[in-house]
Amino acid sequence: MIQVENYIGGKFVTLSDDFDDISPLDFSIIAKVPRTKNVDGAVEAAKSAQPDWGALSIEQRCDWLDKIANELESQIEEIARLESMDTGKPHHVALNVDANRSVNNFRFFADFGRKMESQTFQMPDATNYVVRKPIGVVGLISPWNLPLYLLSWKIAPALLMGNAIIAKPSEITPLTAHFLAKVCSKIGLPEGVLNIVHGYGPEVGQAIVEHPEIRAISFTGGTSTGKIVAATAAPMFKKLSLELGGKNASLVLDDADLDLAVPGVLRASFLNSGQICLCGSRVLVHSAIYYEFMDRYLEELKSFEIGPVISDEHRSKVLSYIELAKQEGGTILSGGSVPDKQGAWIEPTVISGLSHESRTATEEIFGPVVTVHKFESDEEAIKMANCTQYGLAGSVWSKGRGREVAEQIESGMVWVNTWLHRDLRVPFGGVKDSGVGREGGMWSLGFFSEAVNICVMED
Ligand code: TXE
């Protein structure tokens, strides 16, 4: 049994009030997690650490990010083991997606920080110098689907820009954030620069968002929680970055290379049991290739390995959508049932015959469930892709018209003939109800700093 502790001011702290962390693989209790309700102590620790941290040079902070990356990398198997135990995902996904990319987040921002160029704007008689100052104390709130990856995606740039952090991982998946705290303690990261508190969202998460001395909130999670976070933070004029849900479409045009499209769309459908905000949960296929595509897609699905979903409660939500699909007239082409074993397992499920405007095809399910739809023209496919309230990501599969179609999709990110091919320098974020703001590369550094202009008149 692992005892998860809060990490505040460089010290590990347990609370008498705690709750269980349950494995989705078999519903066994794997850890005890402190039920924090108040972040005053963490904010005090962050406030006293921030001035010295912010006074370091960018190069010195980049060196710290590299030290974190090196230590994490030396224990990469342990990260994968913990992540796999906490989320139920297969070991190769936990290693290659979660653990590797978490290390890369620290390393990427270290390299990016070293290459950051100063910005100046020359006038005929004066020079403007843009100075990027730390915000101060920032709050980072992350979800359970890619626990350390999404948390480190926020921690690395926030540290780089000289802020002190109050971070809260999802209460369902606290293990790798706790592991990161141990790593930071081991390498001697200055105390109070990174504080990690555990607990329920409406308690400690809300306390972070409400705290007047936390001046920026970067949140990744569900759209309905995002609304609460925005409603709380906006009247306090906090900087806010919201990365919310998605209902992304994969468009397979009539000229698609099916050798690429079939495995690509399948991976977009079911990687991490469909629990990635970028997953393509709506598969739109041109009628001319529909049957060939579907035959191959369903055949390859038979050997696609997935883990359980995150919890019994989440499985109930996903199953309720499979029921809804049946009521809405859908045909289950594959899956639809719960395998006969312990844990939050659901068969990967493919549903056809639904209107693209049905609830099943427009609401976020966030599980191993996709709907497939036939279209006759690029215009129709684009219209179908754009018919939801979400606008996070998407993919287009075509030999010749991919980019042209991609530009007409109302989403923050669209891949052509690939999916989840990530360059960390590019803007990451959604339009419509999928969020506000962008992170990634320069966008992250912009979010985690205050850009101040100094205009110097020349003699
Ligand atoms: O996420 P929550 P949940 C979607 C997905 C899923 C749904 C709900 O559709 O089914 O959201 O999942 C913290 N103030 N995504 O309920 O609650 C919470 O503790 C501050 C999409 O698990 O949004 C956790 O750390 N924080 C998504 C984080 O918010 C609060 C990934 C996210 O949890 C809070 C996960 C509050 N009032 C779910 N309430 C994506 N975009 O990747 C909760 N939290």
Ligand 1 atom nearest residue 141's Cα = 25
436 burial (CB, 10 Å; 0-12 / 13-18 / 19+) is: middle
Q: Whose CA is nearest to atom 7 of ligand 1?
A: 222
Q: Whose CA is nearest to atom 25 of ligand 1?
A: 170
Which domains does the chain possess?
A: 2-244+434-457 (3.40.605.10), 248-423 (3.40.309.10)
**Cβ(273) – ligand 1 distance below 6 Å:** no
pLDDT number for residue 388 = 97
Q: Whose CA is nearest to atom 6 of ligand 1?
A: 222
**Cβ(90) – ligand 1 distance below 6 Å:** no
pLDDT per residue, tens digit, the chain (459 aa), is 899 999 999 999 999 999 999 999 999 999 999 999 999 999 999 999 999 999 999 999 999 999 999 999 999 999 999 999 999 999 999 999 999 999 999 999 999 999 999 999 999 999 999 999 999 999 999 999 999 999 999 999 999 999 999 999 999 999 999 999 999 999 999 999 999 999 999 999 999 999 999 999 999 999 999 999 999 999 999 999 999 999 999 999 999 999 999 999 999 999 999 999 999 999 999 999 999 999 999 999 999 999 999 999 999 999 999 999 999 999 999 999 999 999 999 999 999 999 999 999 999 999 999 999 999 999 999 999 999 999 999 999 999 999 999 999 999 999 999 999 999 999 999 999 999 999 999 999 999 999 999 999 998
Q: Whose CA is nearest to atom 3 of ligand 1?
A: 222
pLDDT number for residue 146 = 98
pLDDT number for residue 53 = 98
**Cβ(222) – ligand 1 distance below 6 Å:** yes
Show which residues are catalytic.
Answer: 243, 277
Substitution site in 87, 141, 211, 225 for ligand 1 pocket (most atoms within 8 Å of beta carbon):
225
User: How far apart, in Å, do the first and last CA atoms of the chain sit?
Assistant: 69
pLDDT number for residue 60 = 98
- Taking the centre of ligand 1 as the mean of its atom positions, its distance from the CA of residue 269, in whole angstroms, is 21
The alpha carbon torsion through 305, 320, 169, 109 (nearest 10 deg) reads: 60
Instruction: Give the whole-angstrom CA distance, residue 363 versus residue 348.
Output: 18
**Cβ(139) – ligand 1 distance below 6 Å:** no
pLDDT number for residue 283 = 98
pLDDT number for residue 459 = 80
pLDDT number for residue 263 = 98
pLDDT number for residue 209 = 98
